[in-house]
A and B are shown apart, each in its own frame.
Chain A
Amino acid sequence: MDRQNTEHIKDDFIKGLVGLSDEEKPSGDFTQKVMAGIPRAVVVEEENTSLKPWQWLAIAAALTGIVYFIVAFDLNPLFRQLTNVSEDGGANYLNMFTSMIQLFSNAFSGFHFTSISVMVIISGIVLYLGDKFLRKWSSNQAVVI
């Protein structure tokens, strides 16, 4: 027999006859049984909520602008007045807020207008790097089961 010749094995009669034979199929829950033996992985997808550097700069500019506005228009007396309005527990928070504003005011008082752009950039970089650090830290906490 010429072993390379497939003509010796082609046979429509056998093909037709074999086609009539019973074909057994796996059970209906076959796939579920297989998947039961495969470890399930919960993929914690990182939400794509990272801000772009220019967005951080915009936020930093806005925050710097607010602080500059408070310093420029000397709004500290207004906050002190607000603090005096209420003597209950809420006043403590206002005191804290006023102190924070005072702190920022003192920090910014030495700056001139030209320094503001530098402050915006520095604030933006700090916010951006802080965001990166927090995201990296939180991704390390993600558990893959």
Chain B
Amino acid sequence: MAFKADEFYIDRVSAGDNNAFAGLVDKHKEMVFTIVVKILRNREDAEEVAQDAFVKAFNALGSFKREARFSTWLYRIAYNTAISRSRKKQHEFVAIDEKMIENYTTDPVSKSINELDNEDQISAINTLTEKLPEEENLLLTLFYRKEKSVEEISEITGYSQSNVKVKLYRIRKRMYTDLEKYLKEKEYHG
């Protein structure tokens, strides 16, 4: 489906045509849902929170300054709404084992993973991302899957750009460490 520029829908909503907001929902729902589901890890909750984020965005549309990108502004609302819900549930984040991460390797791991068939590779990445803390899982998805820039991730999450880079660097190291561990276990269990 071809979408028009965000400004087109925003102008119409500002003129009183609230139904035009559906265009913005259709255009951004997948990204908003991705952000929320990565943090909440529960499809039903994510659906509700993502809807809530859109309604919040609608109600705050009057305060949206067009200097920023609408998508980034909306994703920030989705992120904050999801974090707020996540904290309400008092979910504990898994601490990263820093010592284990320092001893990571890249080449042997990537070589071993490439030797796996596609189904095993998918199984491996799903297992590893499930183990990642929610925010790290989100950063991984935004940067490596959705190809969002460090600048945009910084605007969405509220972390400084340096902080985003440090986190991504650690996530990357952790992925290799966990992959190595996963492959060893797989080898051990045959």
Partners in one complex: yes
Instruction: Answer whether residue A107 sits at the interface, using C-beta atoms and an 8 A cutoff.
Output: no
On whether the beta carbons of A4 and B165 are closer than 8 Å, the reply is yes
Tell whether A21 is near chain B: CB-to-CB under 8 Å: yes
- Do A34 and B47 contact each other (CB < 8 Å), given the known contacts A15-B144, A17-B113, A21-B122? no
Does A34 lie within 8 Å of B54, measured CB to CB?
yes
Given the contacts A21-B145, A38-B18, A38-B58, A30 and B29 also touching, CB distance less than 8 Å: yes
Task: Point out the residues of chain B lying under 8 angstroms from A11, CB to CB.
Answer: 144, 172
Interface string of B150-190 (1 = CB under 8 A from A): 10000000000010011011001001000000000000000
Number of A interface residues in the complex (CB < 8 A): 34
A18 touches B17 (CB 8 A): no
Chain B at the A interface: SS class: helix
Among candidates A4, A18, A24, A40, residue contacting B37 with C-beta atoms closer than 8 Å:
A24
Q: Decide yes or no whether B125 CB sits under 8 A from chain A.
A: yes
- If A14-B175, A24-B33 touch, whether A9 touches B122 (CB-CB below 8 Å) is no
Set of chain B residues within 8 Å of A22, measured between Cβ atoms: 122, 126
For the complex, count residues of B whose C-beta is within 8 A of A.
45
- Interface status of A3 (Cβ within 8 A of chain B): yes
A24 touching B43, Cβ below 8 Å:
yes
A17 and B121 in contact, given A3-B166, A6-B165, A37-B55 (Cβ under 8 angstroms):
yes
The reply on B84 being an interface residue by CB < 8 A is: no
A31 close to B (CB within 8 Å):
yes
Which one of B2-10, B19-27, B64-72, B91-99 is at the interface?
Answer: B19-27
User: Does A13 have its Cβ within 8 Å of any Cβ on chain B?
Assistant: yes
The answer for the CA separation of A32 and B84 in the assembled complex, in Å, is 24
A25 at the interface (CB under 8 A from B): yes
Cβ A18 vs Cβ B129 within 8 A: yes
CB neighbours of B150 from chain A (8 A): 6, 9
Asked whether, in the complex, the Cβ of B18 is within 8 Å of the Cβ of A18, the reply is no
* Complex alpha-carbon distance, A22 and B130, angstroms: 11
Tell me if B82 counts as interface (CB < 8 A to partner A): no
Cβ of A15: which chain B residues have Cβ within 8 Å of it?
144-145
The chain B residue with its CB closest to the CB of A15 is B144
Contacts of B168 in A (CB 8 A): 9
Interface residues of A (CB under 8 A from B): 1, 3-6, 8-9, 11, 13-15, 17-27, 30-31, 33-35, 37-41, 43, 144
Which residues on B are within 8 Å of A, measured CB to CB? Answer: 15-19, 21-22, 25-26, 29-30, 33-34, 37, 43, 46-47, 50-51, 54-55, 58, 106, 110, 113, 118, 121-122, 124-126, 129, 140-141, 143-145, 150, 162, 165-166, 168-169, 172, 175
Other contacts beyond A6-B150, A17-B175: 9, CB < 8 A: A4-B162, A5-B165, A9-B169, A23-B34, A31-B25, A33-B47, A34-B25, A38-B21, A40-B18
